[in-house]
Amino acid sequence: MNRELLQALSNAFGPSGYEEEVLRSAEPFLNGLSYENDAMNNLYIRLPGEKRDGRPVLLLDAHLDECGMMVQSIADDGSLRIILLGGMHPTSLPAHSVRIRNRKGEYVRGIIAAEPVHFMTEEERKHTNVAVETLKLDVGAVSREEVIEFFGIHEGDPIVPDVSFDYDEKHGLCFGKAFDNRVGCAAIIEIMQRLKEDGDAGNLAVIPTAALAAQEEVGERGATVTAQRVKPDLAIVFEGSPSDDFYFGVQQAQCRMGEGTQIRIMDKSYISNPAFISVAEQIAAKYHIRYQEAVRRGGGTNASVISLTNHAVPVLVLGVPSRYVHSHYNFCKAADVDATIELAYRLVRELGSDEVKHILRKDILGGRA
Ligand SMILES: [Zn+2]
């Protein structure tokens, strides 16, 4: 795992719709690759000399955006109201600091206020109710005028959790924000760099190409565009998947930190192509790569929209187990990032045309005139 890359991406400011800083943070790591962004902040990354020569196109997808917030309104007393960008739960927000970006591009620190214990009745202390609409964001101002004129903050300014990346080398442990899904973005950039260094992409059975998509957390909007543009035949979606090991027993947990990459059999948005999974698991066995299968009752990924484009796109969904995604602080293990990178990289290199036909189900009926 390239720690500097994950650090740069994790620290980057990029809630849904405001991913520009993530693009700029990624750029120094794209040396030797060709890349461009579109008007929505989607980032397309190709191997040098990529040629569409009739081989199937394999899209590597991850989303660039993170769960964040937006300034919804500014009250006379100088407190701000917020609206969510993505699925954070309101109970995870009070008593946390955030960064707001104003229209001049300056970052302002704020505190999402927890109702002070001093002003609560006995009853309120036992049952606090948290609704996003009632949360107050405090930037240290005393009036609406001060918020606007002195802090330069307006309605509509974007907000992210205020967290800095840290790596604990001794335990191989990453700490930071937005591992959903900057770990996926980091994995794809590393894979593209390895494929570029191999220098033999023209001999592969597939054409690997990457698109990092904006606005996933508000409904897979970026991938709706990237899939139309790339027109993939197959895809691998990378995710920072919610780690469940503290919430289920060992038998039931399916996203345990340190147990390898997660291969998602289904979630609410997509039922995976079983042929793709069996090919991936054969490769994992061959290279001794750790993985765990998951059948998720909830959740969804960009596979939902990518699978429905072109002539139906089989998607493999790989997840790096990440604790507390969609809240301020996350943990993940470098070994799980490595397992995810290794499995996808080997898959790209070793997919043969027979396996691609099998995954595309050309071996069921084929075509008859
Ligand atoms: Zn995600």
On whether the CB atoms of residues 295 and 266 are closer than 8 A, the answer is: yes
Average pLDDT, the chain: 96
Q: How many CB atoms lie within 10 A of CB 335?
A: 18
Rg (CA), the chain: 22
Distance from the CA of 179 to the center of ligand 1, in angstroms?
8
How does residue 367 score in pLDDT terms, banded at 50, 70 and 90? low
Query: Where on the phi/psi map is residue 339: left (φ > 0), alpha (ψ -120 to 50), or beta?
Result: alpha
- What is the tens place of the pLDDT at every residue in 219-235? 999 999 999 999 999 99
Distance from the CA of 305 to the center of ligand 1, in angstroms?
14
How does residue 126 score in pLDDT terms, banded at 50, 70 and 90? confident
- What is the tens place of the pLDDT at every residue in 160-215? 999 999 999 999 999 999 999 999 999 999 999 999 999 999 999 999 999 999 99
Distance from the CA of 328 to the center of ligand 1, in angstroms?
14
Please, where in the chain does CATH 2.40.30.40 lie?
A: 68-161
Please give the share of the chain, as a percent, with pLDDT higher than 70. 99
Please, where in the chain does CATH 3.40.630.10 lie?
A: 3-66+177-359
Query: Residue 275's closest CA among 343, 336, 351?
Result: 351
On whether the CB atoms of residues 164 and 8 are closer than 8 A, the answer is: no
Distance from the CA of 319 to the center of ligand 1, in angstroms?
9
Looking at CATH, the fold of the domain delimited by 3-66+177-359 is given as Aminopeptidase (3.40.630)
Distance from the CA of 339 to the center of ligand 1, in angstroms?
18
Residue 366 confidence (pLDDT) above 80: no
Distance from the CA of 191 to the center of ligand 1, in angstroms?
19
DSSP string, 26-65: HGGG-TTSEEEE-TT--EEEE-TT---SSSPEEEEEEE--
Which residues 6+ apart lie within 8 Å of 333 measured at CB?
A: 172, 173, 174, 257, 258, 321
Query: Residue 241's closest CA among 256, 222, 223?
Result: 256
Distance from the CA of 181 to the center of ligand 1, in angstroms?
5
Distance from the CA of 261 to the center of ligand 1, in angstroms?
15
On whether the CB atoms of residues 314 and 288 are closer than 8 A, the answer is: no
Amino acid 364 reads: I
Distance from the CA of 121 to the center of ligand 1, in angstroms?
39
- What is the tens place of the pLDDT at every residue in 143-169? 999 999 999 999 999 999 999 999 999
Give me the pLDDT at residue 113, please.
Answer: 95
Residue with tokens 């959790």: 161
Distance from the CA of 140 to the center of ligand 1, in angstroms?
32
How does residue 363 score in pLDDT terms, banded at 50, 70 and 90? confident
Secondary element (H or E) of residue 341: helix 334-350
Please give the share of the chain, as a percent, with pLDDT higher than 90. 90
3-state secondary structure 266-300: ECCCCECCHHHHHHHHHHHHHCCCCEEEEECCCCC
Residue 129 confidence (pLDDT) above 80: no
The CA distance from 200 to 178, in Å, is: 34
Give me the pLDDT at residue 238, please.
Answer: 98
- What is the tens place of the pLDDT at every residue in 1-58? 999 999 999 999 999 999 999 999 999 999 999 999 999 999 999 999 999 999 999 9
Distance from the CA of 366 to the center of ligand 1, in angstroms?
35
Distance from the CA of 295 to the center of ligand 1, in angstroms?
16
Distance from the CA of 242 to the center of ligand 1, in angstroms?
9
The CA distance from 97 to 288, in Å, is: 42
Distance from the CA of 368 to the center of ligand 1, in angstroms?
41
Distance from the CA of 180 to the center of ligand 1, in angstroms?
5
- What is the tens place of the pLDDT at every residue in 277-314? 999 999 999 999 999 999 999 999 999 999 999 999 99
CATH architecture of 68-161: Beta Barrel (2.40)
